[in-house]
Amino acid sequence: MEAMLEIAGVVTAYGKIEALKGVSLSANRGRITCLLGPNGAGKTTLMMTTAGVLKPRQGSIKLEGNELVGLSPARIVGNGVALVPENRLVFPQMSVRENLLAGAYQRNDSGEVAADVEQMYARFPRLKERREQLAGTLSGGEQQMLAVARALMSRPRLLLMDEPSLGLAPIVVKEIFGIIAELNREGVTIFLVEQNAHLALQVAHHFYLMEQGRVTFSGNPGELAEDEVIKRAYLGTRRSAG
Amino acid sequence: MIPFIQTTLDGLMVGSSYGLLALGFALIFGVMRRLNLSYGPSIMVGAYLGTLLYIQFGAPTYVVAIVAVAGSVMAGVYVERLCFAPLGVGAGVASMVSSFAIWMQLEQASLLMLPRHSYPFPSLTSSELLSLGPLVVRPDYLIMLAAMLAITAALHVLLYRTRFGLGLRAIVENSVAASLSGIDVQSTMLKAFALASAIGGVAGFLVLSANQQVTAMLGMWATLKGLIAMMIGGLGSIPGAIVGGLVLGVIEVHSQTLFGPQVRDLAAYGVLFVLLVLRPGGIFGTTAISESVGHRGGDRWTTT
Amino acid sequence: MDDHLTGILSNIGVISFVALSAYLLLLTGEISFGQQAFFAIGAYTAGIVTAMWQLPFWLGLGAGAAAGGAAALFVGLPTLRLHGLQFAIATLAFAEAVRILFELFRYQVMRDGEPVGPNGIEGFPNIRYIFENDVSATQFMSIIYGLLGATLFGFFLLERSRLGVAFRMIGQDDLLAAAQGVPVFRVKLIAACLAGAIAGLGGGLYAHLTTYVEPAIFDVMLGVHSLAYGLIGGLGTAFGPLLGVAIDIGLLESTRWFAGYRMIVFGGLVAVLLIVRPRGLLDERLVHRIRRIVSRRPPPAPASATILGEESS
């Protein structure tokens, strides 16, 4: 079982403040890897760095051996990596359908693209109902599904997801995680950042804990008692009680 | 009644050129959220190159047109590469001032080419007036109106029925999300700039050929008219640009007929000022694009 | 000091006022293309007071500054609630409207059988107070720089005052400033008034320096130049805009090197400069560093320690 994504020694800074102080982790092919940690740990920064929106000062990020650092976000999508960003970032004035087409921007096979759009409608029936509606008028859960569907339109080999459960009702969150598990069964490698440690541990094959810009723990679900993981994910190691 | 309609008609004709100029501004502002003060001067460079060929080599009108548009595009690309591409999203004022500096540069370069205050410019048609019933129309202006309609339609098709247009609109809404979707933001912005410059070049050519002369004020004139028309119609809005241009044209021609040329300009500025104060979004009130040029832009994502 | 040099220095001094005016507004985050309007209002007012009403020079200057400030207040009230580009274009529209109004403005009185006063497009000649009262070019230059120095001192005091902090806070993020309790609109209005007064003062000096003003001088070019000076010289200090003016007028007017290509060279240099230093030569970071060196204060502790609090170990 080889690593599909290898992040080594990544340092990303905002001006003088280092949000990532040397992060190393990997995500195996065909698996769901999860990154947990408290607010401010740097998880979104890591996602944005991997997706190419932020440029690291040091370190390397390799997809199946190919270096991604230095490539533009568009090129990284072209390499088969798609990010479902935190806060969804749908295009509010464009319809659901157009949002999906945007995700397929780099593809030249219009027939296949159309087929994929139908597939998304099948997977996400609520998107089909609203396909000509403006994305800004969708509910939070629907926007999340749209963001996932849009990312899938580029037929990524590696799907990055930043806090898919953020701000969503529990029923919707369960639905989203069901889709995550389903996608993984179909062969998509998933690297997932989550606040909801409980749910994350139910789908993850492997997880990391991150605090203050560094990875502090790496293991499989079960290696650490779940409530210990949750404590560390929300509060960090140094403040865990006695 | 007839004189009123005639004046309004004249205003609409003049306004079509303003609309085209505003279209170029709106395209650039919509995509980049920044104001390109070199827009008029890039049109001037193209127009002057065309004029040079006309005067020195007696080039035929269609060559002048092609050169005018191509020159505009080249100048526009130059401006984009120097003033906009290197400066990131946050440096709004800096890129605007930079484009102003290049305005000075392009204007002086043009004047070095052709130093006198005005030069003849080839016309597209004979100067005979056409009559539409009781009304009179100049054929050059009719061509301008037709061009405006054609370009607007073409632009609409481009924006809403092509992949490039989809990418452009995506960038306007959120450039981070656009790049995450695989859209090459830098390259798309460059192409949008070139397109805007081409449209400006066409506008410039049509106006100059209607007036049969080109003057050294072209750069300033194009920038001011395009800017005012765009603001009247609504910052960054494409349909707004056209409407704003037409409205500006009508206001100007009516003011000039009633009060003379100075009041014409005063009226335009007065209307713009009142409009901005009362309805800052312009006629089309696009509140989505009401962000400031400086610190707070439209693309945000938070960190955990 | 020869007349040519005096002339250039005086010019630099006077234009610095309108540059400082644009800079002050820029500190609060507002881009104005229209400060030349207050410059014009100041010039005409001062000219009218001295040349037509035969009142003393200082009164003229004071009236010019007051007129500039009042006009700024008048315009600021409806426009300052606009943001960014809308505000900038509104100031442009206002300034151009003012310029055209001056083209239509005629007000003349008879002095010694000759009409004196603004005459529409032809302008307002014979503002000769300085010459009629035997003030030499050098003396006038000292007056200009004396007043400029006073204005800079005002900026110095402002930087250290609560108002100055409020200005910069609003300039960074006015929503955040409002959340901190800063009365944003009122502060912006104060800034606009001060800026108008500064420009008006400069205008009064300009009118007496050149003895002749006409509407064409106060055009969009002057306005955008004023803004550019701050961006070029640097936004970190009030000396920034002065540096910008000195570079443009001093280096380029006075040297004959680039005759004919001056704007091509200058324009290109500015564009390149802004790529490398988007906040100008004397930008906030540099000024901050200079201040620290000058006061020999130690640099603050590394960021991570302060953000996350003391670690128990």
Residues C18-41: tens digit of each pLDDT: 999 999 999 988 899 999 999 999
Residue C213: inside a domain: yes
Determine, for residues C308 and A16 on separate chains, whether the beta-carbon distance falls below 8 Å.
no
Residue C207 contacts B, CB cutoff 8 Å: no
How high does pLDDT run on average in chain B?
86
Q: Which range (A172-176, B153-157, B167-171, B217-221) has the least confidence?
A: A172-176
Amino acid letter, residue C213: V
Domain count, chain C: 1
Query: pLDDT higher for C270 or A82?
Result: A82
Cβ-based neighbours of B194, under 8 Å, separated by 6 or more: B73, B76, B77, B80
Domain A3-239: which CATH class? alpha beta
Determine, for residues C274 and B97 on separate chains, whether the beta-carbon distance falls below 8 Å.
yes
How high does pLDDT run on average in chain C?
86
Spell out which residues of chain A touch residue C307, defining contact as CB-CB under 8 Å. 17
Residue B175: inside a domain: yes
Query: Domain containing C96: what range?
Result: 3-219
Chain C: residue whose CA lies nearest to A213: C304
How far is the C-alpha of B129 from the C-alpha of B138, rounded, in Å?
A: 5
Residue B130: inside a domain: no
Residue A77 contacts B, CB cutoff 8 Å: yes
Chain A closest CA to C309's CA: distance in Å?
A: 12
Spell out which residues of chain A touch residue C284, defining contact as CB-CB under 8 Å. none
Residue B215: inside a domain: yes
- Write the CATH number for B73: 1.10.3470.10
Q: What is the pLDDT of residue B89?
A: 62
| Model confidence pLDDT, tens digit, residues C128-180 | 877 777 788 888 999 999 999 999 999 999 988 989 889 988 888 878 888 88
Residue B298: inside a domain: no
| Residue appearing with tokens 């279209």 | B23
Confidence of residue C303 (pLDDT cuts 50, 70, 90): very low
Cβ-based neighbours of C124, under 8 Å, separated by 6 or more: C44, C47, C51, C117, C118, C207, C212, C213, C214
Residue B56: inside a domain: yes
Give the residue among A32, A13, A33, A34 at the shortest CA–CA distance from A22: A13
Interface test with chain B among A36, A91, A100, by most B beta carbons within 10 Å: A91
Distances (CA, A) of C237 to A17, C15, C192, C241: 25, 17, 18, 8
pTM: 0.84
Q: Torsions phi, psi of A184, nearest 5?
A: -65, -40
Spell out which residues of chain C touch residue A18, defining contact as CB-CB under 8 Å. 304
Give the residue among A150, A209, A186, A189 at the shortest CA–CA distance from A63: A189
| Model confidence pLDDT, tens digit, residues C178-192 | 888 888 899 999 999
Query: Domain containing B158: what range?
Result: 2-116+135-289
Residue ranges per structural domain of chain A: 3-239
Residue A241 contacts C, CB cutoff 8 Å: no
Q: Work out the average pLDDT over C70-88.
A: 90
Q: Work out the average pLDDT over A206-226.
A: 86
Chain C closest CA to B226's CA: distance in Å?
A: 12
Residue A170 half-sphere exposure toward CB, CA atoms < 13 A: 2
Can you tell me the ipTM of this complex? 0.88
Domain count, chain B: 1
